Amino acid sequence: MNESDNNLNIPTYDDVLAAHERIKPYIHQTPVLTSRFLNELTGAELFFKCENFQKAGAFKVRGACNAVFGLDEKTAQIGVATHSSGNHALSLSYAAGQRGIPVTVVMPRTAPQAKKDAVIGYGGSIVECEPSTSSREATFAEVVAESGAEFVHPYNDPRVIAGQGTCSKELVSQVDNLDAVVAPIGGGGMISGTCLTLSNIAPQIKIYAAEPLNADDAARSFKAGHIIADDAPDTVADGLKVPLKDLTWHFVSNHVTDILTATEEEIVDAMKLIWKRMKIVMEPSSAVPLATILKNPELFKGKRVGIIITGGNVDLDALPWMNN
Amino acid sequence: MNESDNNLNIPTYDDVLAAHERIKPYIHQTPVLTSRFLNELTGAELFFKCENFQKAGAFKVRGACNAVFGLDEKTAQIGVATHSSGNHALSLSYAAGQRGIPVTVVMPRTAPQAKKDAVIGYGGSIVECEPSTSSREATFAEVVAESGAEFVHPYNDPRVIAGQGTCSKELVSQVDNLDAVVAPIGGGGMISGTCLTLSNIAPQIKIYAAEPLNADDAARSFKAGHIIADDAPDTVADGLKVPLKDLTWHFVSNHVTDILTATEEEIVDAMKLIWKRMKIVMEPSSAVPLATILKNPELFKGKRVGIIITGGNVDLDALPWMNN
């Protein structure tokens, strides 16, 4: 454990247990799918935990629901807020809608209309900012100052990490004797929840994080031993562009076996392979684990490997291979 | 029952029961998925029986396996043959591969390479013909004359119909109190199997067939009271272009409540809606039931409705909305 961890509010496995009880009425226990074709291709036994079938289309609803339903009544009535143009925005809007409390999402005005429509569809309010960090932070500060809303960070929040930890808790109850779990890494919320749960209930399972080579800040951080944050990396795996923060770095640096990377082409090929053979719609980010497994077969051959399919919110009119 | 039925080899529900025992080791019991969004949109409770997750990617593997595994050893060793450029070709190849017997598929030389590759991948041999009925029939007759292979028709075969009947047998064991089942209709194999099973074990369930307006020969047959076959109708629902035959007409004319149609645009919209909200990859043909339900809400409002998602073998590089 790093010395700086002393100041962190690190969630415990009891928080995961409490989260699971709290959020069960609002989430799905998502299915685990297998593919004989992909098993033969990799020489491993792969178990795909399908959070693309989750409420709001992504695992993020676990952490968002845990944060929203854990608020005391008075705080809840004031509402919650976040900044996100992705699945956390949808998930927090869904969670707040389920509790019937206000939710405000700061989104860049350039965010896809489909994402804005989805937030509004779940009952969220959008405040637009310019597509820059400075504008986003200034706009968000105004929103919170005016409304007093509770900030729910997309990943660097103990409530969110405890919520995400319920995913691998389900996975190990659905699949026996896993040797490894591979999950995508962006800000590190899912990986941190996975570390939190597995280090407590199945510490023998190796945890691999899978990252786009084009946004490999976590892999470089892991090697360097401290957080390296990139400015605006560009990758088709649009959920994985954000950097690690102190809480998620705590889990990554203490519990992850390795961080593996894949090129853009490898990610798109793996995505298409999953769509074609498994008949499921999932995001580019969710294809990074399979891409890294195909690239590092020696690590996984003969092993039982859980893969987190993190989400399924993809723009069907702009699939990555449409540009090929 | 029509008088002409006297000459038909009509399968019974005992054949469905025997088929289910015979094919269980080679098929999946596919899951039934639901979508709160689509329930709210239609005012009905929809239960999607996901044969897109079936072996070889389509329900056709049920009938193909029943035919292949029902053969006596001597006949089986000579092999099976069919003509098809679609899911039946893949399914028969899969079934024959599982039994370890030869299979020959006559396919038009213009069939997509991906379909040919899939047949070969399952161990099938392809004999190419010109893309015309006359060439196909002549080529197929040669194949059978030379090899003595057992012909397994894609749908007008009692073994195939009994096999397809196992799908709705599973469905009623997975979902209680269905009011109706809606399935696509092309040649009528799936609908006939559905009629065979439901008329025996759940005759109160209404059976609707869903057909592209551009290939509405079954709907016109149903109204006219006799088979009308169209020459080469053109629809995005490429699995539904073939006409009814005597065996499938028997079931359609005796047990179907109605045949509903949808336009090409309605089919593509419904397909995209299912991909987007349910995160599953399925074929245009499989979207016709939802398209007809959205078009005829009064028939289904407040009802519990089973929908057969017939298959998931779609060309990801040529999705129908890519041309829009």
B53: which chain A residues are within 8 Å (Cβ-Cβ)? 33, 279
Q: Is B312 on the interface with A (CB under 8 A)?
A: yes
* Cβ contact B281–A282 (<8 Å): no
Q: Can you tell me the ipTM of this complex? A: 0.93
The DSSP line for A112-168 is -HHHHHHHHHTT-EEEEE-SSHHHHHHHHHHHHHHH-PEE--SSSSHHHHHHHHHHH
pLDDT at B323 over 90: no
A33: which chain B residues are within 8 Å (Cβ-Cβ)? 53
DSSP lists the bridge partners of residue A83 as A106
Q: Is B316 on the interface with A (CB under 8 A)?
A: yes
Task: Render each residue's pLDDT in chain A as its tens digit; 324 residues.
Answer: 454 566 899 999 999 999 999 999 999 999 999 999 999 999 999 999 999 999 999 999 999 999 999 999 999 999 999 998 789 999 999 999 999 999 999 998 988 788 899 899 999 999 999 988 889 889 999 999 999 999 999 999 999 999 999 999 999 999 999 999 999 999 999 999 999 999 999 999 999 999 999 999 999 999 999 999 987 789 999 889 999 999 999 999 999 999 999 999 999 999 999 999 999 999 999 999 999 999 999 999 999 999 999 999 999 998 999 864
Return phi, psi of residue B125, to 5°.
-105, 140
Long-range pairs, B38-41, Cβ under 8 A, ≥24: B38/B273, B38/B274, B38/B277, B38/B278, B38/B290, B41/B294
* Cβ contact B322–A321 (<8 Å): no
* Cβ contact A57–B279 (<8 Å): yes
Which of A272, A279, A282 to mutate to probe the B interface, most B CBs <10 Å? A279
Residue type, B168: S
DSSP state for residue B175 in the 8-state scheme: S
Contact A199, A186 (CB under 8 A): no
Pick from B53, B276, B317: which is nearest to A279 by CB?
B53
Task: Report the side by side order of strands in the sheet with B258-262.
Answer: B32-33, B45-50, B304-309, B180-184, B206-212, B258-262
The DSSP line for A29-50 is ---EE--HHHHHHHTSEEEEEE
Check residue B113 and give left, alpha or beta (phi > 0: left; psi -120 to 50: alpha). alpha
Strands B180-184 and B150-151: unpaired
Residue type, B96: A
What pLDDT does B6 receive?
66
Q: How far apart are CA B169 and CA B196, in angstroms?
A: 10
Q: Is A172 on the interface with B (CB under 8 A)?
A: no
Q: Is A57 on the interface with B (CB under 8 A)?
A: yes
Class of residue B169 by CB neighbours under 10 A (exposed 0-12, middle 13-18, buried 19+)? buried
What pLDDT does B1 receive?
46
Q: Is A224 on the interface with B (CB under 8 A)?
A: no
Q: CB atoms < 10 A from the CB of A40, how many?
A: 9
Task: Report the side by side order of strands in the sheet with A206-212.
Answer: A32-33, A45-50, A304-309, A180-184, A206-212, A258-262
DSSP state for residue B58 in the 8-state scheme: B
pLDDT at B272 over 90: yes
Q: How far apart are CA A267 and CA A261, in angstroms?
A: 10
Pick from B33, B275, B317: which is nearest to A281 by CB?
B275
Domain architecture of chain B: domains with CATH: 3-58+157-322 (3.40.50.1100), 61-151 (3.40.50.1100)
Q: Tokens 């272009």 correspond to what residue?
A: B241
